[in-house]
Amino acid sequence: MTSPAGSLRRKNAPADPPRAREGAHRTPDGRLYWDPAVLATELDRFFYRNWLCVGRAEQIPGTGDFFTRRVGRENLLFVRAPGGAVRGFYNLCRHRGTRVVAAAEGKGAHSFICPYHAWSYDLNGRLIGALHMKGQAGFDRKEYGLHPVRVETWGGFLWANLEPEGPDLGHSLGTFFSRFDRFPLADLRLGGRREYEVEANWKVLVENFSECYHCAPVHPSLNRLTPYLSGENDASFRSADGRRSLFSGGYMQFAKDFRSMTKTGYTRRPLLPGTTAEGARRVYYYVVFPNLFFSLHPDYLMIHRSWPVSPSHSRVENEFYFPPEAMAASDFDPSDAIELWDEINRQDWAVCELAQEGMGSRAWQGGRYSDREELVRDFDELVVDGLRRAAPSDRGS
């Protein structure tokens, strides 16, 4: 789950604003990685108020197909409604708050029925059945549908936002999306998936993905293919005009004649449609705030989603997408990429868990950024500034 690009210097990096310059060389202290009250505020400020990549449209191709997704303390339901639209809801009954759908996914549902008192909802979230409620004063079935969650799509991915109002997906992430307009990402299909349980705070994983200072000692296979000093950053959470951005990263350059992030460095797979001659020699790595790691390779797209479970535990999903025509080939085998990244992932988890453990020490009061960790610093400043802006009522909620 490492992004080597994060370790490189930004071109034309802006000068630090005066407030950020003060103490900018020091990392946060351990409380930010261990305190349950900090995580509660982060969930509210970052995960419940930003667009999150929650899945893929191909997961629910038919009417009534659905999946559920846990985000912090919330459980969400996504379903393909009649007419083809994807609807998102809080997965809780309006009667007593019971979780309506217990299954992780399903096909062809006609309605959703609460297992407690059998209140039922159609695929658009409307309440269609509520026994013994007809005579209750002031009860209007139309007012008790499932609570909606905003859903939009880009690149074949489903994005959700728990904030009822606010910027749409294009306004929030359009600058990032425009970088990939030439790629038919919506046409790609899932070719492999791994899940991991990591004993580390979600921010430790983002920080790890945002630098390659660690790549030579931790990832010899990766560093052989794309040496850690081989690329450039072209985006930061702190944009050139000093305002905050929601994505960060850059690219790494292949060494020698290597052409794919695989065990050998080679592959028979064709380039992704839209890949330029320049792009065929690069791997692009970006963090999309707060928890998506987007890695565009010459021959496949890889993503990681990192979900906080507790202050010291994260769940990570690693997915690999390929063009349908490549997957249709008789010799298609994605294991060369998946196995390499499984090795890299496990190396990352090991050092992230060691960092998490160490930051719980009473002796840890924060450290120093190296000159290879500018994007780590920018991410930490984004988080700390967001926590500072949190209202007192948000903290510990």
CA 91 → CA 15, 198, 305, distances in Å?
46, 26, 21
In a domain? residue 158: no
- Are 105 and 62 in contact by the 8 Å Cβ rule? The answer is no
**Cis preceding linkage at 290, omega within 30:** yes
Query: For residue 241, what pLDDT is reported?
Result: 63
- Residues 312-331 pLDDT 10s: 999 999 999 999 999 999 99
Same domain, 70 and 31: no
Query: For residue 326, what pLDDT is reported?
Result: 97
DSSP SS3 for 252? strand
Backbone angles phi, psi at 119, to 5 degrees: -60, 140
For residue 149, what are the β-bridge partners? 88
CA 197 → CA 200, 202, 312, 321, 345, distances in Å?
9, 11, 11, 22, 11
In a domain? residue 163: no
Structurally, how many domains does the chain consist of? 2
In a domain? residue 117: yes
pLDDT band at 391 (very low <50, low <70, confident <90, very high): low
- Are 306 and 314 in contact by the 8 Å Cβ rule? The answer is yes
Assigned token pair, 289? 């705030």
Contact residues for 284 (Cβ-Cβ < 8 A; gap 6+): 5, 249, 250, 251, 295, 296
CATH of the domain at 69: 2.102.10.10
Same domain, 213 and 308: yes
Same domain, 223 and 348: yes
Query: For residue 219, what pLDDT is reported?
Result: 97
Same domain, 135 and 208: no
Contact residues for 267 (Cβ-Cβ < 8 A; gap 6+): 259, 260, 299, 336, 337
Same domain, 194 and 268: yes
Structure-token match 């990832």, residue found: 219
Same domain, 312 and 200: yes
Q: Among 132, 152, 172, give the residue marking a domain's end.
A: 152
Amino acid at 147: H
In a domain? residue 165: no
CATH of the domain at 340: 3.90.380.10
- Residues 277-310 pLDDT 10s: 999 999 999 999 999 999 999 999 999 999 999 9
Same domain, 11 and 97: no
Query: For residue 12, what pLDDT is reported?
Result: 38
Q: Among 114, 135, 152, give the residue marking a domain's end.
A: 152
Please give the Cα distance from 86 to 63 (Å, whole number): 9
Amino acid at 239: S
Same domain, 112 and 147: yes
Name the residue range of residue 369's domain: 4-50+180-389
Same domain, 139 and 14: no
- Residues 24-76 pLDDT 10s: 578 999 999 999 999 999 999 999 999 999 999 999 999 999 999 999 999 99
- Residues 100-118 pLDDT 10s: 999 999 999 999 999 999 9
Backbone angles phi, psi at 232, to 5 degrees: -145, 150
In a domain? residue 394: no
- Residues 190-209 pLDDT 10s: 999 999 999 999 999 999 99
Q: What share of the chain is helix, strand, coil (3-state, %, to 5)?
A: 30, 25, 45
Same domain, 203 and 350: yes
Q: In whole angstroms, how large is the CA radius of gyration of the chain? A: 22
In a domain? residue 333: yes
Structure-token match 């028979």, residue found: 268
Counting beta carbons within 10 angstroms of the beta carbon of residue 316, is it exposed (0 to 12), middle (13 to 18) or buried (19 or more)?
Answer: buried
pTM confidence score? 0.91
In a domain? residue 166: no
Burial 357-392 (b: 16+ CB within 10 A, else e): eebeeeebeeeebeebbbbbbbbbbbbeebbeebee
Query: For residue 135, what pLDDT is reported?
Result: 84
Same domain, 277 and 340: yes
pLDDT band at 239 (very low <50, low <70, confident <90, very high): low
- Are 18 and 375 in contact by the 8 Å Cβ rule? The answer is no
pLDDT of 19 over the 50 cut: no
Assigned token pair, 390? 């949190």
Q: How far apart are the first and last CA of the chain?
A: 31
Assigned token pair, 310? 């507790």
Same domain, 46 and 63: no
In a domain? residue 162: no
- Are 2 and 204 in contact by the 8 Å Cβ rule? The answer is no
pLDDT of 5 over the 50 cut: no
Three-state helix/strand/coil letters over 166-229: CCCHHHHHHHHHHHHCCCCHHHCEEEEEEEEEECCCHHHHHHHHCCCCCHHHHCHHHHHHCCCC
